[in-house]
Structure 1
Amino acid sequence: MRWLAVALLFWALPAAAVTCEDVSYAGNSYTVCTVDAAQEDLRLFHKDADGAVIGSFGAIEALPDVGSLAFAMNAGMYHDDRSPVGHYLEGGVEVMRVIPNAGPGNFGLLPNGVLCITDTTAQVFETLTYVAKAPACRDATQSGPMLVIDGALHPRFLPDSTSRFIRNGVGTSADGTQAVFAISNTSVTFHEFGSFFKDYLALPNALYFDGKVSRLYSRAQGRSDFGFQLGPMVAVIE
């Protein structure tokens, strides 16, 4: 009956609400972290209480009254001073307004979008939809371009593109209960990265965070990427 006791113990344990795994798709490697937004403490981080840019995953854990990290990732493009390029909202306080117009670089490759986080949901909105709906986000970060818009790949992505980078982004389920973060472990094109969210992860909306500076922290995998100091970050705190 030992197997029964082990089985009962297994079923008594709470399900992990953050899971990270390595997957292969269409010849490329990705790490995917799925967050149960209804259960987990999913938040954005940019500056500490003194107004200093936090800048790294380890510095998040060093903040007072913050528990240990389960997961973290860079979460949106930033200027040289590490201020957000687009809309940024943290703890209900708006740091940067919404930027709805086209512009240079990947951020201005419309449509771009916004990740909106509440206490129980996480949803990616195309920017103009976000402005029209004005959802009650606790935290929000704008980035671009969108990878997937209402189930369709971004129209500007080219299958024969030669621009390859390590890239990261986020997609959300239709009901907002699941946020799926992904980073490529091999250099990928926008078309390959968007197709991964659309066809493999089957998410209706997904948003690009960045390339070249893309980084991930996963406690379960023993992974903590190093590199340049970061601007906005998204993390699950335990």
Structure 2
Amino acid sequence: MKRTLLALAPAMLILACGPKPEGEAVTTLEFGENGTKIVRNDNGTGEQVGVEAPPAGSNASACEKVTFEEIALTHCIADPALHQITTVLGDPYRGFAQLAKARKGADPAFAMNGCMFDAAGKPIGYYVERSERLKELSTADGPGNFHLKPNGVFYGSDGEWRIRATQSFLGNVSDRPKFGTQSGPMLLIDGKLHPEFSQDGPSRQIRNGVGVDGKGRAHFVIADAPVSFGKFARFFRDVANTPNALFLDGNVSSLWDPASGRMDTHAPLGPLIVVENK
């Protein structure tokens, strides 16, 4: 039986785990109007000093390590004013190292695994790369997370990025986007958690997902420790403020953040989502 979801009051994240010792400084994270991250340092007296991080660029990471409900996450923001998004089929890359070698002329801000895939690295759902549809939309029933409906599609063209549940996409999107990837389940649907999620269920995995906020920015999040679906979805609802968010995958979830030197290599990957600096 599902438990009632509890609304979370804080819209701010504590970057360090554990309670704040009396008289010591604490660092919190907020988001500025332009999408940059603002670090505020409490000097121990309650006085707050704000420092705004530089905007995304070749020398600045678009990703930030944060802690939410005692779970370590990495939160990356793609801004249409600063970035463009493309999808790349996993084969022949199957990982970020191969992708980096093949795209030496590009300026990647970050990349993540993009959806669920078969043993050959091919997507099991809708997939569009450079306006070419390589896999049709799937409305089939079946086992596994992909078929935990509603599932959904992350797609976009010319800096306009959206997430829709699969049936909504089927009924409302007639023009083929420049990129698109289908996965499941949806984490948030119009601001509400997926109906099958409990508040903090027993299934804990490394997970990643994407949500789009009211300003059109795409929030990519990867758990750095095992997390439940409910807790992961609440981050998108309560911190990223994305009305709709989509689970991308679990266990194989991986991030490449060139600015910080992070390149996850623990599993062969399928389709990739690449965020490039303009």
Contact 2:154–2:181 under 8 Å retained in 1: yes
Give the AA of the match of 1:231: G
**Partner residue of 1:132?**
171
Partner-residue secondary structure (3-state), 2:117: coil
**Partner residue of 1:46?**
89
Q: Percent same amino acid at aligned positions? A: 37
1:127-206 alignment runs, 5 A limit: 127-134=166-173, 135-175=175-215, 177-206=216-245
In 2, the alpha carbon distance for the partners of 1:36 and 1:187 equals 27
Contact 2:96–2:265 under 8 Å retained in 1: no
Partner-residue secondary structure (3-state), 1:200: helix
Partner-residue secondary structure (3-state), 1:103: coil
**Partner residue of 1:21?**
64
Contact 1:43–1:117 under 8 Å retained in 2: no
What does the per-residue CA deviation read over 1:155-176, in whole Å, with 9 as the maximum and x for residues that have no partner? 000125211001000000235x
Equivalent residue in structure 2 for 1:118, among 151, 157, 160: 157
* Alpha carbons of structure 1 residues 118 and 38: separation in structure 2 relative to 1, 3 Å: farther
In 2, the alpha carbon distance for the partners of 1:210 and 1:57 equals 16
Q: How far did residue 69 of structure 1 move?
A: 2.4
Give the AA of the match of 2:97: G
* Alpha carbons of structure 1 residues 106 and 235: separation in structure 2 relative to 1, 3 Å: same
Aligned residues between the structures: 220
Contact 1:124–1:206 under 8 Å retained in 2: yes
**Partner residue of 1:4?**
none
**Partner residue of 1:109?**
148
Give the AA of the match of 2:113: N
Q: How far did residue 115 of structure 1 move?
A: 0.5
In 2, the alpha carbon distance for the partners of 1:190 and 1:112 equals 14
1:34 is the counterpart of 2:77: yes
Task: Give the CA RMSD over aligned residues.
Answer: 1.7
Q: How far did residue 222 of structure 1 move?
A: 1.6
1:236 is the counterpart of 2:275: yes
Give the AA of the match of 2:106: G
What does the per-residue CA deviation read over 1:15-46, in whole Å, with 9 as the maximum and x for residues that have no partner? 32662101111111110000012431211001
Structure 2 residues without counterparts, runs of 5 or longer: 1-53
Contact 2:200–2:229 under 8 Å retained in 1: no
**Partner residue of 2:50?**
none
What does the per-residue CA deviation read over 1:133-169, in whole Å, with 9 as the maximum and x for residues that have no partner? 1154101000000000010000000125211001000
* Alpha carbons of structure 1 residues 178 and 160: separation in structure 2 relative to 1, 3 Å: closer
TM-score where L is the length of structure 2: 0.75
Structure 1 residues without counterparts, runs of 5 or longer: 1-13
Give the AA of the match of 1:114: V
Q: How far did residue 179 of structure 1 move?
A: 0.5
In 2, the alpha carbon distance for the partners of 1:81 and 1:164 equals 26
TM-score where L is the length of structure 1: 0.87
In 2, the alpha carbon distance for the partners of 1:212 and 1:22 equals 19
